[in-house]
Amino acid sequence: MKIDYDTGDFFDEMYHADGTARPHYARLVETLSSLSEEGFHKKLEAVELAFLQQGITFTVYGNEESTEKIFPFDLIPRIIPASEWSHLEKGLIQRMTALNLFLHDVYHDQKIIKDGIVPLEIIKSGKHFREEMVGFEPPKGIYIHICGTDLIRDHKGEYLVLEDNGRCPSGVSYMIENRRAMKKAFPRLFPASGVQSVSNYPDKLHKALQYIAPQAGSATIAVLTPGIYNSAYFEHCFLARQMGAEIVQGQDLVVKKDDCVYMKTTVGLKKVDVLYRRIDDDFIDPEVFNKKSLLGVPGLMRAYHAGNVSLANAIGTGIADDKVTYCFVPDMIKYYLDQDPILPNVETFLPYREDDMKYVMENMENLVVKAANEAGGYGMLIGPAASKAEVAKFRKMVKKNPRDFIAQPPISLSRHPTYGDEGLDGRHVDLRPYIIQSDKIRVVPGGLTRVALRKGSLVVNSSQGGGSKDTWVLNNDQ
Amino acid sequence: MLCRVADSLFWMSRYIERAENTVRLVDVMHQTILESEHSNDDSGYAHWEPTLLTLDEKDSYEALYPKRSSFNVTEFLTFNERNPSSVLSCITSARENARTVRDQISTEMWETLNKLYLFIKRADSQMVCSESDFEFFAQIKEYSHLFRGILESTFPQDLGYEYVVCGREIERAAKTCQILDTKRFTSSFTGEPDDALDAVQFAAMLRSCTGFEAFHHEHGSDLDAVPVRQFLLLSHKFPRSALFCIRRLQAAMHAISNCSITHFSNEPERLTGRLVSRLSYALAVDVEGESGDRMIDEIEAELENIAIAFSRHYMRAEIHDPVIEATQSQA
């Protein structure tokens, strides 16, 4: 394949600005150039067909009907050298530690508030702060068991944290399936020194769930899914299958007078000990939260409070992945761990603060404005690309509810060569590593690299034209 | 096993069987029409009428299509998504059910069903309906066979497997009865006895059940009402005869409950056992003429009762409550 590639004015993952390949990509570039473009294209088609036939799809909701799509996959892997990864790993472990300490504090003594680090109003007004969790001690004191933290790289190549997904982070099945597809399509591309494996993620998850079981010994674990119409249903099934756990919907569970959770089986009721729940707090128990929810299990919170069932993640973790709380994570790290953050945040303005509000109003055309509690790339304004009317609309919205928004300078996300209609072309990427906390914190080497497939686009979300790449963490630096 | 999982396995299997049978029916009808007298403007609609009647779909067809034509009936039975029993609807439902138990079935089972779904979704329905596309129908039948083969060789033969068998056998037995019914409706239309036409229709019926060759093995060339009924209802060798299917159903039910086949432990087992013995000890005279008609009706009604009792017992079960039991045993 002929590689005729322009790095543009961006930090490129594969190439230096002068056009030479970075050392950890050298071997890949060499192998790629020896492939024919035709052969490469055939492999891509084969992989896409395999994804479709396996039903590795997600659902996009449109105005009228929902459609099933495969998550577009790019065959050029992203490579991270070992030393760079170990830096990221340390930073992620530090962050996860601080987030769990923060959640415990915020639902108990609130020292961080009393000491004036995080303002009380931010917590009280947080959409995902759950009064029901105040004073409750979750099993082993852990709130976030599974976190997906999104990292980006700026024009200098520095890694920054864009957000933490501490509720129900998704995408991990794509990480595993992408690797499987790559191994099938391009065994020759893998370096002789190997690539760190991601396939044991389900085992790690299983152990983390076992770890919080109400009683020692073998626990009955189930994955609680909203059902087959949920966009991540494939993943829920995938994980259940890989862990040998049951996959259940709300209708399969019942909480009895003894405050235990049971599944309805063909031979009667069977007690459930741990739920890996992929339903948001709001819908999980109609007795306590959204009364109209048909997805949840009435009485689940009773069982949880009684300690008869453990949930991962805990209820109420959403207050930690609120984008306003996000701004305080570096302060949390300092406060709880007395350390400097290893991975910095993106510079962020909080319209909630008077000075920041002024700045945001005056510079909105040059900022990215995000709703504090939306996910999936929704509720977002990219100032430089937006029309006057859109900017005006956001100005009004921010002014009305300053607490609900944050603003950041646009980061020119790093780019990665990506295969498209015109051969290899630079596309913006981010990285979502998965962090699991049980007896200790473990980070899956690599994670999901998401890529904005539309030329020039900075939005990597699958619902908005994003795709993904296999992500290799090398065993060494080259 | 979760009630919902049992229910989904049962229905997944039932829908695949239903799709396959409808395809057979449509395919055989196309071939029959080619050899029989039909005018060009209704292009054989009269031949379809008995089929629509046995499937109990005549009214819904006529509500959806003002024009009566072979093309439209084929479209209705094969591709129409507003017809819940169309082949496409059945395959879609089978796949939805498979998706809810994706974690329980083998990857190969799921992928085969998904491929079948993608195949029919991408088919050119205009072409299939106007050309009576033999290849298309053959392909769907092959997928269905493939699925069964994969089931046998990749799916653990325990509880879940038995639910799959129950779904398949109930559906298959019911469909065989329906196919026998077509002949009854045909006769009521034509009135006059016509031996040549009868022979063609019996042959078509046997082909719809893949039983043409097997019939000749068992009954020689005697293509007549009584032997055909005997064969399709009472044969204990042919895998699509009503008796054969119901016996398999019985075996699967007893495998689920672990109760010996000599007695019953629940209502669906009782109903099934009763039906098995009724068919096992039937004579040729029982399937003849009107008493035969009655027998077909009764089998169909009884299968429906069995399906209801089965799902009531296992899937929307009166769940026994360990809390109450615990307090009772303490008391």
Q: Please name the residue that has the structure tokens 């229905």.
A: B11
The answer to whether position A208 is within a domain reads no
Of all residues in chain A, the one with the smallest CA distance to B2 is A265
Comparing CB atoms, the residue among A248, A258, A267 nearest residue B323 is: A258
Taking an 8 Å cut-off on Cβ atoms, the answer to whether A265 and B314 are in contact is: no
Pairwise CA distance, residues B105 & B156, whole Å = 9
The answer to whether position B126 is within a domain reads yes
Same domain, A24 and A96: yes
pLDDT (tens digit per residue) in A381-398: 988 888 999 999 999 999
The answer to whether position A279 is within a domain reads no
Start-to-end C-alpha separation, chain B = 30
Same domain, B195 and B150: no
Taking an 8 Å cut-off on Cβ atoms, the answer to whether A55 and B110 are in contact is: yes
Comparing CB atoms, the residue among A237, A249, A257 nearest residue B103 is: A237
Same domain, B218 and B313: yes
| Rounded average pLDDT over B85-110 | 92
- Higher pLDDT among residues B184 and B251, named by residue: B251
Taking an 8 Å cut-off on Cβ atoms, the answer to whether A268 and B103 are in contact is: no
Comparing CB atoms, the residue among A53, A254, A266 nearest residue B6 is: A266
Contact residues on chain B for A266, CB-CB shorter than 8 A: 1-3, 6, 159, 256, 314-315, 317
Same domain, B245 and B100: no
Taking an 8 Å cut-off on Cβ atoms, the answer to whether B103 and A265 are in contact is: no
Contact residues on chain B for A243, CB-CB shorter than 8 A: none
How many CB atoms sit inside 10 A of residue B105's CB? Answer: 24
Same domain, B110 and B187: no
Nearest in space to A371 (alpha carbons), one of A153, A128, A155: A128
Same domain, B202 and B308: yes
Which secondary-structure segment (H or E) carries A466? strand A466-473
The answer to whether position B161 is within a domain reads no
How many CB atoms sit inside 10 A of residue B323's CB? Answer: 14
pLDDT (tens digit per residue) in B26-59: 888 887 777 776 655 556 788 888 888 888 888 8
Residues B82, B85, B88, B89, CA torsion sign: positive
Taking an 8 Å cut-off on Cβ atoms, the answer to whether B3 and A256 are in contact is: no
Q: What angle, 0 to 180 degrees and rounded to 10, lies between the N-to-C axes of helices B45-54 and B159-190?
A: 130
The answer to whether position A179 is within a domain reads yes
For residue A264 the two structure tokens come to 């309805």
Lowest mean pLDDT among A123-137, A251-265, B145-159, B184-198: B184-198
Chain A contact probe: residue of B1, B2, B5 with most A CBs at under 10 A? B2
Q: What is the three-class DSSP state of A216? A: coil
Lowest mean pLDDT among A465-474, B49-58, B81-90: B49-58
pLDDT surpasses 80 at A58: no
Q: Where are the beta strands (DSSP E) in A123-224?
A: 146-153, 159-165, 221-224
Please, what's the b/e burial string for A343-357 (b: 16 or more CB within 10 A of its CB; e: otherwise)? bebbebbbbbeeebb
Contact residues on chain B for A246, CB-CB shorter than 8 A: 2, 103
Comparing CB atoms, the residue among B2, B100, B102 nearest residue A265 is: B2
Same domain, B1 and B136: yes
pLDDT given at position A478: 78
Comparing CB atoms, the residue among A251, A252, A269 nearest residue B322 is: A269
The answer to whether position B221 is within a domain reads yes
CB B51 within 8 A of CB B25: yes
How many CB atoms sit inside 10 A of residue B158's CB? Answer: 10
Chain B contact probe: residue of A53, A236, A256, A266 with most B CBs at under 10 A? A266
Q: Please name the residue that has the structure tokens 């069987």.
A: B17
Percent of all residues in chain A with a pLDDT value above 70, rounded to a whole number: 97
The answer to whether position B331 is within a domain reads no
Same domain, A7 and A52: yes
> How many beta-carbon pairs under 8 angstroms link A with B?
70
The minimum CA-CA distance between B258 and chain A, rounded to whole Å, is 12
Which secondary-structure segment (H or E) carries B10? helix B3-35
CB B261 within 8 A of CB B251: yes
Taking an 8 Å cut-off on Cβ atoms, the answer to whether B322 and A248 are in contact is: no
The answer to whether position A443 is within a domain reads yes
The answer to whether position A311 is within a domain reads no
Q: Where are the alpha helices (DSSP H) in A314-467?
A: 323-326, 329-332, 354-363, 388-400
Same domain, B178 and B258: yes
Contact residues on chain A for B102, CB-CB shorter than 8 A: 55, 234, 237, 241
pLDDT surpasses 60 at A223: yes
Structural domain boundaries, residue B231: 169-318
The minimum CA-CA distance between B126 and chain A, rounded to whole Å, is 23
pLDDT (tens digit per residue) in A324-334: 999 999 999 99
Pairwise CA distance, residues A424 & A447, whole Å = 23
Same domain, B109 and B192: no
The minimum CA-CA distance between A47 and chain B, rounded to whole Å, is 14
Give the contacts of A222 (CB within 8 A, at least 6 positions apart): A240, A245, A246, A247, A248, A263, A272, A274, A275, A276
Instruction: Output the average pLDDT for chain B.
Output: 87
Choose the final residue of a domain: B127, B155, B183.
B155
Domain count for chain A, please give it. 2
Same domain, B180 and B217: yes
| Rounded average pLDDT over A445-466 | 86
Comparing CB atoms, the residue among A233, A252, A266 nearest residue B317 is: A266
Lowest mean pLDDT among A151-165, A264-278, B203-217, B290-304: B203-217
Nearest in space to A328 (alpha carbons), one of A305, A352, A304: A352
Same domain, A340 and A361: no
Same domain, A451 and A472: yes
- The amino acid present at A276, given as its one-letter code, is Y
The answer to whether position A333 is within a domain reads yes
The answer to whether position A155 is within a domain reads yes
The answer to whether position B15 is within a domain reads yes
Structural domain boundaries, residue A330: 1-128+140-194+322-346+417-478
pLDDT (tens digit per residue) in A6-51: 888 899 999 999 989 999 999 999 988 888 888 888 888 888 888 8
Same domain, A341 and A360: no
Same domain, A358 and A379: yes
Pairwise CA distance, residues B93 & B10, whole Å = 12
Collect all residues from B whose CB is shorter than 8 A from any CB in A: 1-4, 6, 96, 99-100, 102-103, 107, 110-111, 114-115, 118, 159, 256, 314-315, 317, 319-323
The minimum CA-CA distance between A359 and chain B, rounded to whole Å, is 51
The answer to whether position B329 is within a domain reads no
pLDDT surpasses 90 at A378: no
Q: Where are the alpha helices (DSSP H) in B123-239?
A: 125-131, 134-154, 159-190, 195-208, 212-219, 225-229
Percent of all residues in chain B with a pLDDT value above 90, rounded to a whole number: 57
For residue A451 the two structure tokens come to 């890529």
Residues B118, B121, B127, B132, CA torsion sign: positive
Taking an 8 Å cut-off on Cβ atoms, the answer to whether B118 and A53 are in contact is: yes
Nearest in space to A165 (alpha carbons), one of A185, A149, A189: A149
pLDDT given at position A292: 86
Residue A381 phi, psi (nearest 5): -120, 125
The answer to whether position B175 is within a domain reads yes
CATH code at position A380: 3.30.1490.270
Pairwise CA distance, residues A474 & B98, whole Å = 38
The answer to whether position A376 is within a domain reads yes
Same domain, B99 and B213: no
Taking an 8 Å cut-off on Cβ atoms, the answer to whether A248 and B256 are in contact is: no
Same domain, A104 and A16: yes
What is the band of B191 on the pLDDT scale with cuts at 50, 70, 90?
Answer: low
Pairwise CA distance, residues A258 & B322, whole Å = 10
Pairwise CA distance, residues A148 & A433, whole Å = 6
pLDDT (tens digit per residue) in A401-412: 999 999 999 888
Query: How far, in whole angstroms, is CA A415 from its chain's centroid?
Result: 19
Choose the final residue of a domain: B123, B155, B187.
B155
pLDDT (tens digit per residue) in A238-286: 999 899 899 999 999 999 999 999 999 988 899 999 999 999 999 999 9
Choose the final residue of a domain: B108, B131, B155.
B155
Domain count for chain B, please give it. 2
Taking an 8 Å cut-off on Cβ atoms, the answer to whether B99 and A55 are in contact is: yes
Q: What is the three-class DSSP state of A194? A: coil
Taking an 8 Å cut-off on Cβ atoms, the answer to whether A268 and B322 are in contact is: yes
Taking an 8 Å cut-off on Cβ atoms, the answer to whether A268 and B100 are in contact is: no
Pairwise CA distance, residues B307 & B284, whole Å = 27
Same domain, A365 and A453: no
pLDDT given at position A287: 92
pLDDT surpasses 60 at B328: no
For residue B141 the two structure tokens come to 């039948």
pLDDT given at position B56: 84
Same domain, B136 and B186: no
Percent of all residues in chain A with a pLDDT value above 90, rounded to a whole number: 71
Same domain, B150 and B2: yes
pLDDT surpasses 70 at A77: yes
